[in-house]
């Protein structure tokens, strides 16, 4: 049985730096972002491209894709009411043909939603780096998600979206180049 893997949208590494080139003028510009540094709960609307993937009613990060996958957009908390969210089922999954199950290289999939989503202050597209973008070691970037707050420590209730600014660390070179 084929194992379908995807990069967890809930742990997006947002490469929003001056060194990257935006492909759209509407992407990567959160209308309500106040950017709290240091692993804090993210203010509502600060990461409008963040998605929460659910399988069988539970948020997950990575793993097998099943027929009952639901994508939540505009979600702030995993518990309670999220007045700005919308949900869509997944109509089609396109896996990266270069995915390597041994190394997990190229662990990304494209999900086609069941219907279009209207952009708001809480739901917007992320910018993708241009293919010739270079990100130097030490360039600050943002990581967001609903994962554990430290090893073995789950995110406390109401499981709010978290954000932290971290430097890019290259793998054996002075910079990271998108190919």
pLDDT of residue 20: 35
> Quick check: is 6 in a domain?
no
161 in a structural domain: yes
Q: Rounded to an integer, what distance in angstroms lies between the CA atom of residue 121 and that of residue 133?
A: 27
Torsion of CA 140, 143, 144, 146, to 10 degrees: -150
At 74 the pLDDT is: 92
pLDDT score of 26: 56
Are 72 and 52 contacting, i.e. CB atoms less than 8 angstroms apart? yes
Residue 21 belongs to some domain of the structure: no
* Number of structural domains in the chain: 1
- Residue 13 pLDDT: 32
The mean pLDDT values, 10 residues at a time, for the chain of 179 residues are 31 32 53 52 84 79 60 92 92 90 87 91 86 84 83 84 85 48
Helices (H) and strands (E) in the chain, counts: 0, 11
Between CA 14 and CA 49 the distance in angstroms is 10
CA 36 → CA 18, 32, 33, 108, 164, distances in Å? 19, 12, 9, 28, 8
Residue 65, helix vs strand vs coil: coil
Q: Has residue 178 been placed in a domain?
A: no
Q: Is residue 7 part of a domain?
A: no
Predicted pLDDT at 62: 44
Which range of residues forms the domain containing residue 32?
A: 27-168
State residue 15's pLDDT score: 30
Judge whether 138 lies within some domain. yes
Residue 50 to residue 100: CA distance in whole angstroms: 25
Q: Can you tell me the distance from the alpha carbon of 73 to that of 64, in angstroms, rounded to the nearest whole number?
A: 20
Whether residue 155 lies inside any domain: the answer is yes
Residue 72 within a domain: yes
Q: Is the distance from CB of 90 to CB of 113 less than 8 angstroms? A: yes
What pLDDT score does 171 carry? 54
Number of Cα atoms under 13 Å in the Cβ half of residue 119: 12
Domain containing 59 — which CATH number?
Answer: 2.40.10.10
Cα Rg, the chain, nearest whole Å:
16
């Amino acid at each position: 049985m084929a194992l379908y893997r995807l990069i967890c949208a809930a742990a997006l590494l947002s490469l929003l730096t001056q060194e990257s080139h935006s492909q759209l003028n509407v992407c990567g510009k959160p209308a309500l972002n106040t950017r709290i540094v240091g692993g804090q709960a993210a203010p509502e609307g600060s990461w409008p491209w963040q998605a929460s993937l659910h399988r069988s009613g539970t948020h997950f990060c990575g793993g097998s894709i099943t027929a009952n996958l639901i994508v939540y957009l505009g979600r702030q908390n995993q518990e309670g009411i999220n007045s700005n969210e919308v949900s869509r089922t997944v109509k089609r999954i396109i896996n990266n043909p270069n995915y390597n199950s041994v190394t997990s290289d190229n662990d990304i999939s494209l999900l086609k939603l069941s219907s279009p989503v209207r952009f708001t202050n809480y739901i917007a597209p992320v910018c993708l780096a241009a293919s010739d973008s270079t990100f130097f070691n030490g360039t600050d970037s943002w990581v967001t998600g609903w994962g554990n707050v430290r090893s073995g420590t789950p995110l406390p209730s109401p499981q709010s979206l978290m954000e932290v600014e971290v430097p890019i660390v290259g793998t054996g070179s002075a910079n990271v180049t998108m190919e």
